[in-house]
Amino acid sequence: MAGRDYMGIPREEISWFPTIDTDLCINDSLCMDFCSNDVFAQGELSTVVANPYNCVVGCSACAKECPVDAISFPKKEELVKILNELRPKYAAARG
């Protein structure tokens, strides 16, 4: 999924992806089993975010699957702010 655009904005410019608190993570693989976009991978001591830009912009459903609340995302307000800042840049580039 990397390399794709979201609303005309290169996905790599949108910092929307999960963060894993390695102190909380119990490495149970529930997030890996839940996410069909290959965002997560098995780490040695905890699950890791291996492909952050495969994460669907605005989706945070995997966080609800974590029994120990080890997965977090930026606030939706931050996402809206980023998108509002980037839209004019890429609208102008499209003509």
Domains located in the chain, CATH noted: 5-72 (3.30.70.20)
The token pair at 62 is 């995997």
pLDDT confidence of residue 92: 74
In this prediction the pTM is 0.88
Place of tokens 């997965």: 71
**Three-state SS at 41:** strand
pLDDT, tens digit, 9 for 90 and up, residues 51-87: 999 999 999 999 999 999 999 999 999 999 999 999 9
| pLDDT over 70 at 19, yes or no | yes
C-alpha angle 40-1-25 in degrees, rounded to nearest 5: 10
Distances, alpha carbon 62 to alpha carbons 8, 20, 67, 75, 89, in Å:
25, 11, 10, 15, 31
